[in-house]
Amino acid sequence: MKHIMLPGDIERTSMEIISRELEERGITVPPEQAAVVKRVIHTTADFDFAQTLRFSENAVALGVEALNKGTNIVTDTNMARAGVSRPSLTKLGGEVFCYMADEDVAQQAKTRGTTRAVAAMEKMAREQPGAIVAVGNAPTALLELAELMEEGLRPTLVIAAPVGFVNVVESKKRILEACLARQVPIIAAMGRKGGSAVAAAICNALLYTATGREI
C-alpha cells in the first residue's frame, strides 16, 4: 500500500533527511546559514553545496532584513524569476524582475556587440541599483556586476550561482572579491555547480526566513 503524503509533509520529511545526512557526513553548517544550505540541497539533492556555498559576514541576516523592507530581486534568467516565491515576496512588499527578454536590452546588446546578460545588468544598475541581484546562469552578468561595483554600484545583496565551464569559476571569484572589498553582502556557490534553480532556492530560503515560514 502506497503512502500518500501532502506536499508539506514531503518537504518536511526531505529536510529531516537532509539534516540527518549532513550529520552522518560529519558536516556542520553554521546555524545562520542552515536554511540556505538545506534549501539548496533540497532543490538539487547535491550535498556538495554544503561545502561550496560561501557567505560573507551576516549575508543571510542582511538579506532577510532587506527583504523585510520590501527590497526587490533582479534575476539574470526568467527561469530563476519564475522560481522565486511570489507569494512570499509580495507579502513583504517586493517584486522580482528579469530584464533579459526586454527589447531595449536585446537592442543594446546587439548594438554594442555584447551579451544580453551584460546589457541586463546595466539596466539593473540604472533602474534597481539597490536590489538583491541573483545570478544563476550568466558568468558575464557577474563580471559586468563586478565592473559596475568598481564604478560605484552597491547592490543590497549578490547571489552568485552560475553553472558551467567557461568563465564560471573565474566570475564567481571575481564577484566574491569585489563584494568583500566593498562590504557588499554575497552568497556564492563556488566552483562549477549552480544554476537558475539554485539562485531561486537561495532567494526562497531568505524569503521563507523573512516571512516566518516553518520550512
Q: 33-211 maps to which CATH number? A: 3.40.50.10230
Say what the pLDDT of residue 79 is. Answer: 97
Distances (CA, A) of 20 to 3, 26, 53, 152, 186: 21, 10, 19, 44, 27
- The reported pLDDT for the residue numbered 1 is 43
Per annotation, catalytic residue among 42, 54, 91, 182? 42
- Whether this prediction's pTM lies above 0.75 is answered by yes
pLDDT along the chain (215 residues), means of 10: 68 94 96 98 98 98 98 98 97 98 97 96 97 97 98 98 97 98 98 98 98 79
| Domain ranges, ordered by start, for the chain | 33-211
pLDDT of residue 114: 95
Q: How many residues does the chain have?
A: 215
Angle at 88 between CA 84 and CA 90, to 5 degrees: 95
Annotated active-site residue 42? The verdict is: yes
The pLDDT value recorded for residue 214 is: 63
